[in-house]
Chains A and B, each alone.
Chain A
Amino acid sequence: QSVLTQPPSVSTAPGQKVTISCSGGNSNVGNNFVSWYQQLPGTAPKFLIYDNDKRPSGIPDRFSGSKSGTSATLAITGLQTGDEADYYCAAWDSNLGAVVFGGGTKVTVL
């Protein structure tokens, strides 16, 4: 059971928008920054979003992050088949003194 809660899967058609939710509590999402990672099949995770809504160099602006209270959201617009992957949210947990991850959301492009 992951500390952060994500839906197991989401799907939509190419070119459309998909959103992935990440729900936590006051000790993590509510009072600390959220990040997001993309894991393509059979590969290592890739850094996608940090500080709730910032993109590292090289990440296209089709990927965006937001946070409100104890929930965060990753949005992907203009969905492409190459975006099919597992997406994980993460945040520092002040009570645990460690980074906690969500269980991951599998994005399928129909």
Chain B
Amino acid sequence: EVRLVESGGDVVQPGGSLRLSCATSGFNFRAHYLGWVRQAPGKGLEWLGRIRNKANGDITDYAASAEGRFTISRDDSENSLYLHMSSLTTEDSAVYYCGRVFKSQYVDFWGQGTQVTVSS
């Protein structure tokens, strides 16, 4: 069974940083691209970015809203995905989902999400 479990969500002050983790199991982690999507309260889904597999250079691609402030990384030895966020604003408050990426752009399996609240 494919499983993804996010952790690390918290309440953080504006301007602060946070690292989210995504532990995975049930599939060949190192073969897949992985990504992050977020959903602000009462709003729709927003793609943040993806990281390719090692065979494709572990290259990262980011949405404009994430570029420069967010960093996606992976640890193939731990089957884990990470999202490091900095210079957070209240606009970054959302549920953050990690996902397995299929055919470069589809999220075919999702985690349950982790809540990030940016507030003073």
Contact = CB atoms under 8 A, between A and B. Distances in A.
Main SS of chain B's interface residues?
A: strand
Main SS of chain A's interface residues?
A: strand
23 contacts: A33-B105, A35-B105, A43-B112, A44-B110, A45-B37, A45-B107, A46-B110, A47-B102, A47-B106, A47-B108, A47-B109, A47-B110, A50-B102, A50-B103, A88-B45, A90-B105, A90-B106, A97-B61, A98-B62, A99-B47, A101-B46, A101-B47, A104-B44
Contacts, number: 63
Interface of B: 37, 44-47, 49, 61-64, 97, 102-113
Interface size for chain A: under 10, 10 to 19, 20 to 34, or 35 or more residues? 20 to 34
A65 interface: no
Contacts of B46: 101
A24 interface: no
B110 A45 contact: yes
Given A88-B44, A96-B63, 7 more contacts: A37-B107, A56-B108, A90-B47, A92-B104, A101-B45, A101-B47, A104-B44
Nearest to B110: A44
